[in-house]
A and B are shown apart, each in its own frame.
Chain A
Amino acid sequence: MSNDIKIKKGLDIKLKGDAEKTTEKAVLSNFYVLRPDDFHAVTPRLIYKEGAKVKAGEPIFHDKTNEAVKFVSPVSGEIIEIERGAKRRIVGIKIQADKEQTYQDYGKLDVNAVDADTIKARLLASGCWTFIKQRPYDIIAKPDQSPKAIFISGYDSAPLAADLDYVLQGKESELQAAITALGKLTEGKVHVSVGANSNSPLAGLSGITLHKVSGPHPCGNVGTQINKIDPVNKGETVWTVNPQDLVIIGELLLTGRFNAERIVALVGSSVKKPRYFKTKIASEVATMVYDNGVEQNGNDRIISGNVLSGKQVGPDGYLGYYSNLISIIPEGDDYEFFGWNKPVFDKISNSRALTFSWLTPNKTYDLDTNMNGEHRNFVLTGNYEEVFPLDIYPLQILKSCLYEDLDEMEALGMYEVAPEDFALTEFICVSKQPHQQIIRAGLDLMIEEIG
């Protein structure tokens, strides 16, 4: 059987502002903020208080329900502020970086020689466990479960995504160390997917099952690949890891240091010169976005992540824990005269209702954040299926989440999905329903009720 994955259903959203393949070293950020919101379903319990000095890689909080899962500081410095929201919920932990970085040393580990428990303990202690996510529920993996397989997508098909082949260049040894280590944590296979025409460093690794994926977005989504390769059944768990985080895991195992360095793409039509930056997790986005980037005080939206599933951060915001992309597009907070009936040439549409993007499939668009309409009940049918390659009924599962029927949610496949799988259906939804929020709320309900 061929290991290749070809999908037909989907939609490539071609936007202006793809990153040029040059990497700059970003200005060193003075402050770093870890946001517990990046770790869904985690309630942080602090290990250090304000004013404490920490080293890079030193744990600063752990999960309340799961003390083994530690979250570490990306840099050495002083914890200067614990930002709190309503009900004293922690929304951010702000660290002022030292001029000279010092690292917590976890010691080298020969991944070929040690057993699974040692690897697990090391990943948990060093904060690297937080890079491993699980399905069902799309949350940080539970350490006491063993997954039936591990999935790594080395191909990002999202709009303006960073080219993973480019950012992973030269990281073969780290990747191999991480893969070998992770491989010991599962009974099953480690599935790695790369683009059909790529020369990804991932392709040459040993201990993996390689898949070549082709087709429109979301072929690069790990959720699509899981569904096509080995879907999650009730009672099963799979893990997923972003390839760039493998590098951090690998480096920790090889050198004993948690090095939060990451190559991030700055993209989007508002960016003057889209390109790559070498920076660290949780840095200020201001260190990257202004130099040959956006206008000061421009009316733009800065997103940590891609334009479909990323988070809006604002110019004083911080790079998300899992992001390797900063997308900046114009805000669309303006009215459009007769926007609902005049012919549209400059926006993407998957219908042909006086919208003409079907005539120019290779054109790149400059989309803004306007909703292009108002929120409505679900009305149209059959259009989600055109962009949704999973073997799941998208409209039905969304509705089951809305009326919170747990049995039906389970039967329709909630264990298999993550919010990002519904990004494209949300994008094309004429009723402008918030699909990803609906799915996230449904998953949260299941965590609460079923666990």
Chain B
Amino acid sequence: MGLKQNLHNLREKYKGTKMAPAFNALHTFLYTPNYTAQGGTHIKVADDLKRTMNTVIMALIPCLIFGMFNAGYQHYLAVGEIQAVSNGFFSSEFWNLQNFILGFWKILPLVIISYGVGLGIEFLFAVLKGHEVEEGYLVTGMLVPLIVPIDIPWWMLIVAVAFGVVIGKEVFGGTGMNILNPALTIRAFLFFAYPTWMSGDKVWVEGAVERAKEIASGSNADAISGETILGSLAQSHPIDYSVMDMFFGFIPGSVGETSTLLILLGGLFLIFTKIGSWRIMLSATLGALVMGYIFNFVVDAGWVTESSKFYGLMSTEFWHHLIIGGMAFGIVYMATDPVTGSQTNKGKWIYGFLIGFISIMIRVFNPAYPEGVMLAILLMNVFAPTIDHYVVQGNVKKRLKRGKLKTA
């Protein structure tokens, strides 16, 4: 009884004060509150928003841990200390403590910054505006470290998170009211404000930037190259990763986006728990395949030749698009955001399909930044209410027609 009763007394003490939201946020983290249903249904389902968000985080944890191993693996591989994986998904070259320790110490600060700054702002707004701290940031805070390059300077991340939370969410009224996906707003901010840290061949592997500086200042060490596959394709460089490497995720990229296998499992988990929308995931995948296939067709038909600067990405086999870059991660964890996505079931099909379709289009036609999924999702976030409007109008028209038939 001790802790529970003491916390209850504290809650009563803070009730009505400015501190109440901040205290309640911590209190409800420990204990589901004693509120009873009033004035409506007398019983309520077991789920609340915390449980929902927690489920998404559970689906993200494998990607985070994989990201830690991969950070170390990419670094040690680039500096030549270890051999490339040889043994399928459970290769010992990848799953070893050395890799993990490097990745852990690089990525943990990103997670801490993301949650620290983001939740700090959430608490601040909750106290200032007198509403409860909402759970939306729990997922955003886990997504952010997974979609940035490993060597991103901390201060940039701090600035971006602050921008994303305030402009992306709080100005609209908090979780449930925002128009754009907050995690992608943060990433888009980073991308447009600090493009040199978000693209190119130096940022995806731990230490590459550092080494480049050393070389520039006269060191004779070998340069670390860590180009993403998309980057290579965009410049028609040869790819030295196998399809299985791409699928398992032993490739450079943003921290958590590389392992299509784990993302696929996470996606299936979200669909099974009924938290993620299978409609969006499926239709986005279809959209990407269709666009990829169209580009393949164009190449096969001979309309685009090797001299074209788009040739590298256009000729990429259409289904490979799903396992390179952030496509899978975006489809599973970002496109399915219920707040910024389409809200009607029919609308979800259209919304998802266009995300996949436009992602690949941007990827191919924008070689400066060949990752289209972020921009495609943000674009479709903006159009989601329009899609819903037309879907709902269908229902409205049906109702009007029914009425007219009767009176005629």
> Of A73-81, A127-135, A281-289, A370-378, which stretch is located at the interface?
A370-378
**Smallest CB–CB gap between B9 and chain A, Å?**
12
The answer for the CA separation of A383 and B276 in the assembled complex, in Å, is 11
The answer for the CA separation of A434 and B338 in the assembled complex, in Å, is 20
Interface string of B25-51 (1 = CB under 8 A from A): 000111111111111111111111111
Contact A369 B54 (CB under 8 A): no
Query: Could you say which residues of chain A place their CB within 8 Å of the CB of B170?
Result: none
With an 8 A cutoff between CB atoms, is A430 at the interface? yes
The answer for the CA separation of A301 and B275 in the assembled complex, in Å, is 32
Contact of A340 among B50, B272, B277 (CB under 8 A): B50
With an 8 A cutoff between CB atoms, is A391 at the interface? yes
With an 8 A cutoff between CB atoms, is A308 at the interface? yes
**In the complex, how many residues of chain B place their beta carbon closer than 8 angstroms to a beta carbon of chain A?**
64
With an 8 A cutoff between CB atoms, is B249 at the interface? no
With an 8 A cutoff between CB atoms, is B120 at the interface? no
Contact A307 B42 (CB under 8 A): yes
Contact A372 B47 (CB under 8 A): yes
CB nearest to B37 among chain A residues: A369
Contact B32 A434 (CB under 8 A): no
Contact B46 A341 (CB under 8 A): no
**Smallest CB–CB gap between B318 and chain A, Å?**
29
The answer for the CA separation of A423 and B47 in the assembled complex, in Å, is 16
Q: A231-B402, A430-B52 are in contact. Are A339 and B32 (CB under 8 A)?
A: yes
The answer for the CA separation of A368 and B43 in the assembled complex, in Å, is 6
With an 8 A cutoff between CB atoms, is B13 at the interface? no
**Smallest CB–CB gap between A355 and chain B, Å?**
5
Query: Could you say which residues of chain A place their CB within 8 Å of the CB of B32?
Result: 335-336, 338-340, 370, 372-373
Contact A236 B406 (CB under 8 A): yes
CB nearest to B35 among chain A residues: A371
With an 8 A cutoff between CB atoms, is B8 at the interface? yes
The answer for the CA separation of A374 and B173 in the assembled complex, in Å, is 17
**Smallest CB–CB gap between A403 and chain B, Å?**
12
Contact B51 A382 (CB under 8 A): no
Contact A329 B54 (CB under 8 A): no
CB nearest to A392 among chain B residues: B395
CB nearest to A305 among chain B residues: B42
The answer for the CA separation of A376 and B174 in the assembled complex, in Å, is 10
> Of A24-32, A214-222, A250-258, A345-353, which stretch is located at the interface?
A345-353
Instruction: Name, among A347, A367, A372, the residue most crowded by chain B CB atoms within 10 Å (CB to CB).
Output: A372
Query: Could you say which residues of chain B place their CB within 8 Å of the CB of A92?
Result: none
Contact of B48 among A378, A392, A396, A430 (CB under 8 A): A430
Contact B396 A308 (CB under 8 A): no
Interface string of A407-444 (1 = CB under 8 A from B): 00001110000000001001111111011110000000
With an 8 A cutoff between CB atoms, is B132 at the interface? yes
With an 8 A cutoff between CB atoms, is B93 at the interface? no
Query: Could you say which residues of chain A place their CB within 8 Å of the CB of B396?
Result: 411-412
Contact A344 B46 (CB under 8 A): yes
Contact B273 A381 (CB under 8 A): no
Contact of A308 among B36, B42, B55, B177 (CB under 8 A): B42
Contact A427 B43 (CB under 8 A): yes
CB nearest to A308 among chain B residues: B41
Contact of A312 among B33, B42, B45, B343 (CB under 8 A): B42
Q: A381-B338, A395-B343 are in contact. Are A376 and B47 (CB under 8 A)?
A: no
The answer for the CA separation of A341 and B274 in the assembled complex, in Å, is 16
Query: Could you say which residues of chain A place their CB within 8 Å of the CB of B399?
Result: 231, 233, 411, 413
The answer for the CA separation of A437 and B50 in the assembled complex, in Å, is 24
Query: Could you say which residues of chain B place their CB within 8 Å of the CB of A374?
Result: 28, 33, 35, 48-49, 132
With an 8 A cutoff between CB atoms, is A84 at the interface? no
Query: Could you say which residues of chain A place their CB within 8 Å of the CB of B173?
Result: 377
Q: A377-B134, A379-B338 are in contact. Are A367 and B43 (CB under 8 A)?
A: yes
CB nearest to B342 among chain A residues: A381
- Name A305-353 residues within 8 Å CB distance of B: 307-310, 312, 327, 329, 331-341, 344, 347-353
Contact of A427 among B45, B174, B343 (CB under 8 A): B45
Contact A335 B8 (CB under 8 A): yes
Query: Could you say which residues of chain B place their CB within 8 Å of the CB of A140?
Result: none
Q: A379-B176, A396-B392, A436-B41 are in contact. Are A332 and B402 (CB under 8 A)?
A: no
Query: Could you say which residues of chain A place their CB within 8 Å of the CB of B35?
Result: 333, 370-371, 374
Contact of A371 among B44, B52, B136, B344 (CB under 8 A): B44
The answer for the CA separation of A77 and B175 in the assembled complex, in Å, is 57
Query: Could you say which residues of chain A place their CB within 8 Å of the CB of B98?
Result: none
Contact of A348 among B29, B30, B46, B273 (CB under 8 A): B46
Query: Could you say which residues of chain B place their CB within 8 Å of the CB of A392?
Result: 395
The answer for the CA separation of A327 and B32 in the assembled complex, in Å, is 25
With an 8 A cutoff between CB atoms, is B407 at the interface? yes
With an 8 A cutoff between CB atoms, is B4 at the interface? yes
With an 8 A cutoff between CB atoms, is A354 at the interface? yes
Contact B274 A383 (CB under 8 A): yes
Query: Could you say which residues of chain A place their CB within 8 Å of the CB of B38?
Result: 312
Query: Could you say which residues of chain A place their CB within 8 Å of the CB of B134?
Result: 376-377
CB nearest to A232 among chain B residues: B403
With an 8 A cutoff between CB atoms, is B345 at the interface? yes
Query: Could you say which residues of chain B place their CB within 8 Å of the CB of A336?
Result: 31-32
With an 8 A cutoff between CB atoms, is A380 at the interface? yes
With an 8 A cutoff between CB atoms, is B341 at the interface? yes
16 contacts between A and B (CB under 8 A): A310-B42, A332-B36, A339-B31, A340-B32, A340-B48, A341-B51, A352-B274, A353-B274, A371-B48, A372-B44, A379-B136, A379-B175, A379-B339, A396-B343, A413-B399, A430-B52
**A-side interface residues toward B, CB under 8 Å?**
13, 15, 159, 231, 233-236, 301, 303, 307-310, 312, 327, 329, 331-341, 344, 347-355, 357, 367-383, 385, 391-393, 395-396, 411-413, 423, 426-432, 434-437
